[in-house]
Structure 1
Amino acid sequence: MSHSTAFNSLPIELNKAIVHELDADKDIATYRLICRATNDAIDADKLSFWRAKYREKYAFKEGVPNNQLQRKYQRRSRLLRRGVRYDFFRGHKKHELAAIEILRELIVGMYSGQIETDEHGRPRCKNQTHLLNFIVNSRILMSARRAPQPSPGEPDWVHPTLAAVKLICAHFLFELEGAEHRIFALEESQHAVYQPTNRARLYGGPANTTVNMSWILHSMNFFRHHMMNEEAQTLYENISELPVTQKPSIWQERLQQGTRPLSRHWKGTYAFLDNPEIQKFRSQVPGTGVYIDKNIDEGKIQSLELDFKTQGGELPWPAVFEQRLNSLGHATAKPGINPQCRTANTRTGVKNIQFEGHGEDLDDEFNAIGWLNPLPPQAGIPGWQRITFMKHFMEDFDQLDQDNLWAYEGVVLPGGRIILGRWWYASEQVDFNNDYNGPFIWWAIDPDPEDEDESQSETEEE
């Protein structure tokens, strides 16, 4: 008896039960072609198989017809399978953009429908599995090659959508133990992160709300090299010794537009060069001189605790802080509205949120005060925010002219778990054509249970 005859003799319910046990897409396609009975087990009953299969593999949202779920499932399977062979150097090629679009879909669709939790109580989503598998098996972040010169007619810059997807996928890298984190063209990233602000502003575009994806990606590569590459002999040892809940991690809720308070507990670090070094470095071609990034060369990690003021209890905001940081005068305000107003826009979720913070840097305790500003979706992905704050060492603001001020401007990546940006010396009038600056990174951490108990006790006493 032939296989086709055998399957034709089975009830359709049994054929459907068989195909639901097949996990590999290749096996499903083969089974579908055996005979009419196996084809009907997959494509009959108003394509209900594809709805069940989609729900089994991906984050699922009700209201999508079965025929659309079939097309989405098959397209995702095809492009995720082929995409692991693509180079993703700059992301302008048609086949690369098609694969990047699937990754963007998986990112935006995270935490739709059923959510589970891992051993640390963190939410887990089916889309995570596909993203993580693609990151591990593809060249999008784990490439072993330096980008070649662009082909004739090909742009020499990274496509903003590829850069955005790389930045968000990079969240997963910090939980990959044993992975080889080789960053090629590191000298280019190092050169980029120390550029004067006016040569590489973090925000641009007509409304000054378009993220400079190229600079932020350089910053991510810079810190990833130091944090995850043992050969760098900088931050690797201290990062590897952190508990899982204290390391950078992926976002924990569905990405949403607008400003929203971030986590309370953070860790982070920054890099700097001495002023004479940075002046010389900026005049050189990348790679022509070797410079040791200070602070991170000793593996130093800071702690920071933030308190967001979502309603009432407004904090002071010295005029000199606004002059240095332009926190409230950023282009989130409507034309004609005083940029010093407390809310920059009356639309739902589009407002500035003020916060204060306290942290430790070496043996010094410091304070911080600043703002979150809303940003529009970037490369079709919602959830980006601008953050600015002044790091200072005062109990009040009576002696501003005598304090040691350090300004921070950054990009809060979607999901609010990682912040990348630039610091600069701000105790005096700043020349942004030649400011003294450097890169920083902050990542949200799960609070230590003992710290939470102490905080709760203090709240109850008050």
Structure 2
Amino acid sequence: MAFNILPIELNKEIISYLEPDRDICTFRLVCKSANYAVDGDGMSFWRYRFRQYYALGSTSVSNSRLKKAYQKRRRWLRKGAGVEFKNGQTDHEIKTMEVLRDLVNESFTGEIYDDEFGRPTCRNLYALKQFVLSSRNFTDVNRLGPRSASLSPQLAALQLMCAHFMLDEKIGTEDVYSFEVSQKAVYESAKVAPIFHGFNDLQVNMEWVLHALNFFRYHMMRECENTLYVPFHDLSGLQKPLAWKTKLQDGSHKLGGDWMGTYAYLDRQEIQHIRANPPGFEILMDKNVDSDRAIQCLRLEFVDNEIIWPALFERHLKSKPKPHHAKTRAQHKAGSPAIGEPVSFRFEGTGYDEEKFFASGWLNPLPPQQGIPGWQRMTMMKHFHDENGATDSDYLWAYEGVVLPGGQMILGRWWGVDEDAAAHEIYSGPFIFWSVDDNQGMYEETDSEEYE
């Protein structure tokens, strides 16, 4: 057999060109030298093979473990691509989600290279992209209509980690399912559908956030709706949502300075109407998304936490950091914080929405959600200045949202503020922001000095 006389290095070189894994299995059965090239030499081939497809997080991982990890990923990414994702509770869904979560968490732990826009990316993000492209319906939120069983928060979290794919016209599709379900969800009051719940409101309501993504995806990806499709598709590649650019980490993380985004609203009586009826009773015409200026610019600057945070803003936003851990009785008595509490960040911002507006807010870290680190809570008060340069307290708009891990997108709820601290139970709607590398030239009316 010819392969027997070849050096192991050459046999390994031959194997490296075998794309289907079944061809590797066939090759290793050809002869002893071929078998040794695959499974001999300390299984060094499997380290090479793993690094061909995935980010290698640690050089101390043994070759035998990398072989098992590689085979598990290839098997379940292939099987998962054929799975009809429903609620994330079947055995095949769960095992596929475990692999997807590992790809997310181990991204940017090995070799990093530039994508088509010159932004850093890695092999794990490419593997996620290939899975999304080959999957039957992983990113098709609400494909099966209203759910008869509760949605797995882990499935929702992983779908949110693929938000940039869902909003990519090269990957996504205009088939956005059960919009009426998402529309009703995003206009529900905070009392009925809070974005955060659990201990100290540190747990993300993944299903609501996913509905917000699906809502804007509907308007951005469906040309026939004549809403956000044209203004969104006219953006450059550097102005559209893209994936995270560094390894995900727990705790607080400052965000990029330049953002774009939009929001939607209904008239007050329409909000009362949609809340009073079941999903699909009537699809209402969302406002602002049909405006030629629906997509707005926002520039953020992180400032010293000691800068005055108005009591009025705090009353409506409840932005002050909350402990991640329950205090001991001794800590309660002493009034001291729980050990290891994370740091929060204050920011100020400017933007344009028919006229120049100002923004003041907080970023508060959240504990890992569904095994994925890096989630944050964003609260922001959008306000305007009167003729004296002071905040006009008669025109305040509160924002509360979830910063997805990696700090590239924020999804949440806005509400109109008045002296009633529960105003958001009456008038509210969804918003989306995404980080950009170029937000110039959006509006001629924008004060150029603010954005240089």
Provide TM-score, normalisation by structure 1. Answer: 0.88
After TM superposition, the structure 1 stretch with the greater mean CA deviation from structure 2, 165-174 or 176-185, is 176-185
Instruction: Determine whether 1:212 maps to 2:212.
Output: no
Instruction: Determine whether 1:303 maps to 2:300.
Output: no
Instruction: Determine whether 1:250 maps to 2:246.
Output: no
Q: Does structure 1 retain, via aligned residues, the 8 Å contact 2:145–2:177?
A: no
In the alignment, what sits opposite 1:19?
Answer: 15
Instruction: Determine whether 1:318 maps to 2:310.
Output: yes
How many Å apart are 1:40 and its aligned residue? 1.2
In the alignment, what sits opposite 1:446?
Answer: 437
How many Å apart are 1:17 and its aligned residue? 2.4
Q: How far, CA to CA, are the matches of 1:401 and 1:459 in structure 2? A: 23
How many Å apart are 1:54 and its aligned residue? 0.9
In the alignment, what sits opposite 2:271?
Answer: 278
Q: Deviations over 1:239-259 (max 9, x none)?
A: 111110011111111111111
How many Å apart are 1:281 and its aligned residue? 1.2
How many Å apart are 1:233 and its aligned residue? 1.4
**Residue of 137, 142, 150 corresponding to 1:157:** 150
Instruction: Determine whether 1:364 maps to 2:360.
Output: no
What SS class does the counterpart of residue 290 from structure 2 fall into? helix
Q: Does structure 1 retain, via aligned residues, the 8 Å contact 2:416–2:423?
A: no
How many Å apart are 1:292 and its aligned residue? 0.3
What does residue range 204-243 of structure 1 map to in structure 2 within 5 Å?
A: 204-243=197-236
Runs of 5+ in structure 1 lacking a partner? Answer: none
Kindly provide the amino acid, as one letter, of the partner of residue 50 in structure 1: W
After TM superposition, the structure 1 stretch with the greater mean CA deviation from structure 2, 210-219 or 134-143, is 134-143
**Residue of 142, 150, 173 corresponding to 1:180:** 173
What does residue range 7-156 of structure 1 map to in structure 2 within 5 Å?
A: 7-61=3-57, 62-143=59-140, 146-147=143-144, 156=149
Distance 1:145 1:405, change over 3 A: closer
Q: How far, CA to CA, are the matches of 1:193 and 1:450 in structure 2? A: 30
What does residue range 390-405 of structure 1 map to in structure 2 within 5 Å?
A: 390-394=381-385, 402-405=393-396
Q: Does structure 1 retain, via aligned residues, the 8 Å contact 2:139–2:166?
A: no
Q: Deviations over 1:416-438 (max 9, x none)?
A: 00000000111221336832100
Q: Does structure 1 retain, via aligned residues, the 8 Å contact 2:252–2:363?
A: yes
Distance 1:96 1:234, change over 3 A: same
Q: Does structure 2 retain, via aligned residues, the 8 Å contact 1:332–1:374?
A: no
How many Å apart are 1:144 and its aligned residue? 9.9
Instruction: Determine whether 1:409 maps to 2:400.
Output: yes
Please list every run of at least 4 consecutive aligned residues from structure 1 whose deviation after the TM superposition is greater than 4 angstroms. Answer: 142-145, 331-338, 343-346, 395-402, 448-451, 457-460
Distance 1:71 1:162, change over 3 A: same
Kindly provide the amino acid, as one letter, of the partner of residue 307 in structure 1: E
Q: How far, CA to CA, are the matches of 1:449 and 1:366 in structure 2? A: 17
Q: Does structure 1 retain, via aligned residues, the 8 Å contact 2:324–2:367?
A: no
How many Å apart are 1:334 and its aligned residue? 6.7
Distance 1:207 1:430, change over 3 A: closer
Q: Does structure 1 retain, via aligned residues, the 8 Å contact 2:345–2:362?
A: yes
Kindly provide the amino acid, as one letter, of the partner of residue 383 in structure 1: G
How many Å apart are 1:376 and its aligned residue? 0.3
How many Å apart are 1:9 and its aligned residue? 4.2
**Residue of 255, 264, 279 corresponding to 1:262:** 255
Q: How far, CA to CA, are the matches of 1:444 and 1:323 in structure 2? A: 28
Q: How far, CA to CA, are the matches of 1:435 and 1:200 in structure 2? A: 13
Give percent identity, aligned residues only. Answer: 44
Provide TM-score, normalisation by structure 2. Answer: 0.90
Q: Deviations over 1:245-278 (max 9, x none)?
A: 0111111111111111101000000000000111
Q: Does structure 1 retain, via aligned residues, the 8 Å contact 2:297–2:439?
A: no
Q: How far, CA to CA, are the matches of 2:321 and 2:127 in structure 1? A: 41
Kindly provide the amino acid, as one letter, of the partner of residue 192 in structure 2: R
Q: Deviations over 1:350-387 (max 9, x none)?
A: 111100110001x2111110100010000000000000
Distance 1:281 1:391, change over 3 A: same
Q: Does structure 2 retain, via aligned residues, the 8 Å contact 1:318–1:397?
A: no
